[in-house]
Structure 1
Amino acid sequence: MLTLQSVTYAHPNKDVLFSDLTITINKQDKIALVGNNGAGKSTLLNIMAGNLHPLSGTVTASSTPYYVPQIFGQYNHLSIAEALKVDKKLSALHAIMEGDVSPGLYDDLNDDWGIEERCQAALMHWDLAGIDLQQPLQQLSGGQKTKVFLAGIDIHQPEIVLMDEPSNHLDASSRAILYDYIQFAKQTLVVVSHDRVLLQLLNTVCELSKNGITTYGGNYTFYQSQKAIAAEALENDVRSAEKAFRKAKETEREAMERQAKLDARGKKKQEKAGLPTISMNTFRNSAEKSTARMKGVHADKIDNIRQDLQDLRKELPALDTMKMGFDQSQLHKGKILFHATNINFTYNAGKVWKQDLSFILKSGQRVAIKGNNGSGKTTLIKVLLGQLAPTSGQLTRAAFSAIYIDQDYALINNSLTVYQQAQQFNPGALQEHEIKTKLTRFLFLQPDWDKPCSALSGGEKMRLVLCCLTINNKALDMIILDEPTNNLDIQNIEILTAAINEYEGTLIVVSHDQQFLADVGIEEEILL
């Protein structure tokens, strides 16, 4: 069991990230922890793991949780054995086997005589057979590092497992192993993920937001249905508030017109009666006060409705405001862009692809490039972009414009501010206020304009790239996306999906995210 009671966490600068969170996770629960970028999911997971301490509140666990991190930089100076916290046991085992009978070695080993075999079996299970436990972690790829920490689950057999975006760097075969583990695991699981296939395997969804933590007693499909019901109710509330606002303005106008007529009629009566000037002034002052009181009553009512409407609109999803504004490709659909016949590329280690590649790419196609880590996907992208020429085979390449959006969003210059970055893509046609209007539509409000791009999250960088392409307003014949969903939360994946589905040119996607590939209408694949 894992319990959080009234947990509040504040950044070192005293800004509160979340407050008064209370949740109880029971034995063998499988929890999906979801929420937008910046909500504090990874922070909350680290608090559960004991890596961070809350400002207030308590965290209690029936046993020490095992934590699979999303970011590995802090472990790069360690060996694999050290990162897995088995180095002392392995050293003790080897020393004892060599004849050293020091009591401290037996204490370190703690009767775990099968530790080495268990490590090797765990690494083999996660497709890391033959890897040296003394190898520095920094020599491994992102996917291999993830699998090392996943192998630690098999090694330590914890009761509680916490995982932060575990499928991020995994290829299709490794994801299949992960999905299989999650489906049949007997441990208590808390998983932060945007992988919608993985989320379906978890039986409870907990959403972290500015309003706290909300539990939905079902898998991700159930959560989506509940969110859809809430979204529809919110839209109805917005429409009702808009109607009430219009009605209040109309009522105010009618009341003021009616009062003006009454005042004019009363004035005429007073003039006909020949009242003295002092009486006329008294009447006029009384009429003005009455009008002012009426105007104040209506103004207060309208201001209250306006504020309610603004608050409701802030809760609406942002998808509708983000429209890709660049010109569509002028190439006719079906025009042959690439015709590759038995192509390959050779590095010092030999050919990149075991089998030569032959394929045709036509304008308007939506194609996925698939393959395990190390299968040569990046090399093929460089060939498609014209940055590399095949060392064998024949390739015919037509003239066209293309943009490559990698998972690190290298189009973004981290030394610039958000506004300066947007200005880099302005061909001179837009004025400052127009650029800032477009930034606002992509959720970059005034406080964000001077923020350095280096401080942006993956989702924010993706939105800034889309905004920059809109500002540039340049016809693109091809967009190439390389693992576009790796660093995005679900809201930003939906934003990217909506933007890409507006695009009518050629789309090439490298991704292990099957749901995303389906959502953007991938029709064909090149399998490496």
Structure 2
Amino acid sequence: MSTDPSAFSAPPAVVLSNLSFTWPSGAELLTRINVAFTAGSTGLVGANGSGKSTLLRLIAGRLTPTSGSVSVRGTVASAPQDLGLRSADTVGDLLGVRSRIDAVRAVENGSCDPSLFDLIADDWDVERRAEGALAEAGLDGLDVDRPVGTVSGGEAVRVGLAGLRMTDHRITLLDEPTNSLDRYSRSAVYEAIRTWSGTLIVVSHDVRLLDSMDRTADLHDGTLSTFGGGWSDYRAQLADGQHAAERALRSAEETLKVERRQRAVAEVALARRQRYARTDFDIKRRPKSIMQTRRMQAQVSAGKLRRRLDSRVDAARSAVDDRADSVRRDDRIRVDLPSPGVPAGRRLAEFTSCRGETFELWGAERVGVIGPNGVGKTTLISMLADGSPHGRAMRSTAVMARAHTDRIGCVPQLRDLRADAESVLDVVSATSPNASPDRIRARLARFLLRGDAVHQAVGSLSGGERLRVLLATVLLSDPPNQLLLLDEPTNDLDSSSVDALVDALTGYGGGLVVATHDDALLKRLAVGTVLELDGDGFRVRRVRD
């Protein structure tokens, strides 16, 4: 990122002081965070559900801290995760200029409403500027009146970023800005962020993007730690710290063993002394008064020794607890998928194009769908899922897809569960009506959705948590799905959750269709065939082992 070196000596743009945030349910998410964000870029990282998006909303002023404070110097602009979900909006809405464009048009059509002139101010060329911002983002020709529901998820994200570039805010917050973007679009975002001015805070799981950051802020167990450099530097520093913490923990555990052993040896010695003392008293070797005095002295001495040894054991145990708190034990999704029982000779899906290409998916075959944003990958997935194309209708006839099974599970690119007011437990139970609530809860625990989290409304979840709920509904449905459709499945997932998803799907015995820009994911899933879409059809490419 290019910034004026003197800006780093300027007062911080964002200061978090003893910031804590607790959900209405009483669950504490953030605990006494003290961090300052200065000019330059900061990558905000952490596991799904750790509170990254919540922290951005606190900085933007859309949430109020439970305690502590957020201080900002300058205006704040942000791009949320759900840009592609705003199907009722237009491109102009995502750019943030819809109202001004409408005002200019109304005045040009003869309106003299003073409020329109106040809204326009001096920005009479707002529509031209909007078109220029879209062209700069590689979206030349995209109409500002076009509904967001008719553009791809990647295009929606690029429109939102173009809108932020049109404004002059000192502080910018980005939440997963490269989700759903193809290689070209990601490169454009990387370049835009490299030259972004002011203070930029980016939540992302995109390693290349995170590596370009000036600093990394790690949100873990409700606390925030900062590291110099990007993702690779952060991981190296974290690994060094964890190795040191593990060594310190092992040393503390050894010390505790020694103290406990010494405590046990001392108890044996004290017991032996008491036995000898009773024997002396019983056979009356010395006068009774002397024996009683010595017994009292021995009891006092034994009490002091026990307290001293107990204190040393407690101190050693406390040291172990302190060292253990410094060692991370990160949870991860653990799923064993039930067998869908798909024979190798069962045809599950077929694909045809207007150019005459055909492809059929049989048995447990794995197919990757690739191509640039807007080419029709999501449309293809939706046609397989329910027979109706979504997205760009003009492109939907170039490639047709048809499923030959009704046992289909789909994780769409737009994580719309259509049940935002329902609880996690209710949503997942609907896909397994014969399973008991206890069994459903046990399944959800494997997706790290435990305790009171299963009663949370789906609409209140983070992007990563929402995806976990979707995965649970799809992967654990009863009866098992014979065909799984995944559209950009790694969007919003942290690295450990991606690993878990790959592990779960490695043993899946049904058909799999994955639309993604992530070549590494296709390789890890052992995809055998790739359909490369070009807007007019597709090319079949077999993947060598």
TM-score when normalising by structure 2? 0.70
Q: Which moved more, 1:323-332 or 1:194-203?
A: 323-332
Counterpart of 1:509 in structure 2 is: 514
Q: Which amino acid is 2:175 matched to? A: D
Determine the structure 2 residue equivalent to 1:358: 359
Aligned-residue identity in percent: 27
Instruction: Look up the SS of the partner of 1:202 in the other structure.
Output: coil
Contact 1:338 1:360 in 2 (8 A): yes
Equivalent of residue 117 in structure 1, options 111, 128, 131: 128
* Match 1:221 to one of 229, 232, 239: 232
Query: Does residue 482 of structure 1 match 2:487?
Result: yes
1:111–1:127 CA distance, 2 compared to 1 (3 A): same
Q: 1:4 touches 1:57 (CA, 8 Å); kept in 2?
A: no
Match of 2:13, SS? Answer: strand
Is 1:5–2:15 an aligned residue pair?
Answer: yes
Which residue of 256, 276, 299 maps to 1:265? 276
CA distance in 2, matches of 1:80, 1:47: 27
SS in 2 for 1:119: helix
The 10-residue stretch of structure 1 (417-426 or 366-375) with the greater mean CA deviation from structure 2: 417-426
- Equivalent-residue separation in structure 2 for 1:266 and 1:95 (angstroms): 106
Aligned to 1:59: 71
Q: Which amino acid aligns with 2:368?
A: A
**Residue 17 of structure 1 aligns to a residue in which SS?**
strand
1:198 to 2:209 alignment: yes
Whole-Å Cα distance in 1 between the matches of residues 269 and 33 of structure 2?
A: 52
Larger deviation, residues 271-280 vs 469-478: 469-478
For residue 269 of structure 1, report the CA deviation from its aligned partner. Answer: 3.8
Q: Structure 1 residues 261, 119: CA separation in 2 closer, same or farther (over 3 Å shift)? A: same
User: CA 1:325–1:104 in 2, change beyond 3 Å: closer, same or farther?
Assistant: closer
- The alignment's TM-score, normalised by the length of structure 1, stands at 0.71
* Matches for 1:341-490 after TM superposition, within 5 Å: 343-344=351-352, 356-358=357-359, 363=364, 367-372=367-372, 375-377=375-377, 405=411, 408=415, 415=422, 443=448, 446=451, 448=453, 456-460=461-465, 480-490=485-495
Whether the 8 Å contact between 1:368 and 1:522 is mirrored in structure 2 is yes
Q: How many residues align?
A: 509
- Show structure 2 runs of 5+ residues with no match: 1-6, 389-396, 534-545
Among 23, 26, 30, the alignment partner of 2:36 is: 23
CA distance in 2 between counterparts of 1:507 and 1:74 reads 25
Give CA-to-partner distance per residue, 1:243-294, whole Å, 9 cap, x none: 3333333333222223323333343344344467887777666656655554
Three-state SS of the structure 2 residue aligned to 1:182 is helix
* Cα contact 2:13–2:199 (8 A) shared by 1: no
**After alignment, is 95-104 or 133-142 more displaced?**
95-104
Q: Which amino acid aligns with 1:484?
A: P
* Cross-structure match for 2:536: none
2:371 aligned partner, one-letter code: G
- What SS does the corresponding residue of 2:78 show, helix, strand or coil? strand
Contact 2:78 2:173 in 1 (8 A): yes
The SS at the match of 1:163 is strand
Flag the 1:450–1:31 CA change in 2: closer, same or farther, 3 A.
closer
1:309 and 2:320 aligned: yes
CA distance in 2, matches of 1:435, 1:278: 72
Letter of the structure 2 residue corresponding to residue 69 of structure 1? P
Question: Is the CA contact (8 Å cut-off) linking 2:484 and 2:513 kept in structure 1?
Answer: yes
Letter in 1 for 2:320: L
CA-based RMSD of the aligned residues comes to 5.3
Instruction: Please say if 1:232 is aligned against 2:237.
Output: no
**Residues 1:152 and 2:163 aligned together:** yes
Query: CA separation of 1:286/1:514 partners in 2, compared to 1, >3 Å: closer, same or farther?
Result: farther
User: Is the partner of 1:189 in helix, strand or coil?
Assistant: strand
Which secondary structure state, in structure 2, belongs to the residue aligned with residue 66 of structure 1?
strand
8 Å Cα contact 2:369/2:530 also seen in 1: yes
Code of the aligned partner of 2:359: S
Measure the CA separation in 1 of the matches of 2:431 and 2:299: 56
Confirm or deny: 8 A CA contact 2:227 2:234 kept in the other structure.
yes
Shift of 1:22: 3.4
Aligned 8 A contact 2:15 2:70 in 1: yes
Asked whether the 8 Å contact 1:422–1:467 carries over to 2, the reply is no
Are the structure 2 counterparts of residues 437 and 139 from structure 1 closer, same or farther at C-alpha, using a change threshold of 3 Å? closer
- Per the TM alignment, residue 34 of structure 1 is displaced from its structure 2 partner at its CA by 2.0
1:57–1:415 distance in 2 versus 1, CA, 3 Å: closer
Greater mean deviation of Cα atoms: 236-245 or 190-199: 236-245
